[in-house]
Structure 1
Amino acid sequence: MNRRSNALRAVIAAVLASGALATAHATPGIRVLSEAPNDGPIKYTVKMTSKTFGNEQETRTIRSGESDDFTWQASAAKGAQPVPDGCPQLSSIPRSADGAAVRQVQIRFAPVVADNGSANVQLSFRGYAPKGTSKVTVAGKALQCPVDSRVSQIVRFTMPTSNGSKKTVTLDDGTQLAITASRK
């Protein structure tokens, strides 16, 4: 009987030990911290309303920590203004394929999403718009060169990235940029 009880004790000990091992190796439950990870794609729209640069809108997708550059070009408000090759600062004047000065806006959008889901955004805005011509003498030659409006500004702001969040910023020249953001 002693052998039987020792064998029974051994079986009971083995069963208990295997149960303890299974408990020790169990994986913890999965906890969902947010519905959209902070590094996931952000769909954003920039809508510009400006007396100088016109009205434009663009929708794009970006991830936290990336930057996105885009350019809008449109004909000048007063029609095509040819730019002679001898004009001063010729390389900094945006021109169409036929050499006419055009309105141009360049935007760089760079969000970094925090743990709470809000984005710290840096937006760089550069705009050029011809607004008539002026007589300029270059090397004894009279030229009609564009007179222009230029704006270069960097703005920083924080905005939520939940669906349809909106932030409007006004630049120094009165141009308004309405930014909406949503997580994909």
Structure 2
Amino acid sequence: MKAALITIGVFLLVVVGGGAASYVGAHNKGVSFDNRLAAAWENNENILGQYSLKIQEMAQVPGMYANDLKEVVREAMSGRYGEDGSSAVFQWIQEKNPTVDSTLYVEIQREMKVGRNKFEAAQTQLVDVKRAYKDQLDFFWSGMWLRIAGFPKTDLSKYKIITSEHAQETFETGVDKGVKIN
């Protein structure tokens, strides 16, 4: 009789212990997913913000360059011909005026491409974290324990993917009209 009670006690201890361990594991998984989603979202905001600021700052440089170039040309012309310009009948001068360097524009385009690619990768990571969390919530065993533990504690619909009007319209209508460059 004593052996039977010990066996039943050990069995109950294993079942309760296993259930508790399963619950704790599911709870920890839920906490981890909530934190990963929030961190991925914050990282997406950081990447987009840094990318946008970088482009805005780089876009100011051509304007500054153009103003400086105008000043250089103005000074070169007044230095070459004087305040009133040249009054000679014939001039045998080969002029070499400063040119606008397109390197700045190419660099801005490159930075835009790099920024978009980096943001796309971060968005893809966010989609994957959200999918993995939904999987765990939908699985029978982990989903049961996660729901008992009150997960998800964050609103998953908050973590939307940033997209374009073109992409949204294409997916709504099922027709891709192509990208129009004005």
TM-score range normalised by the length of the shorter chain:
under 0.3
Q: TM-score scaled by structure 2?
A: 0.28
Structure whose residues are more often helix by fraction:
2
Higher strand proportion (structure 1 or 2): 1
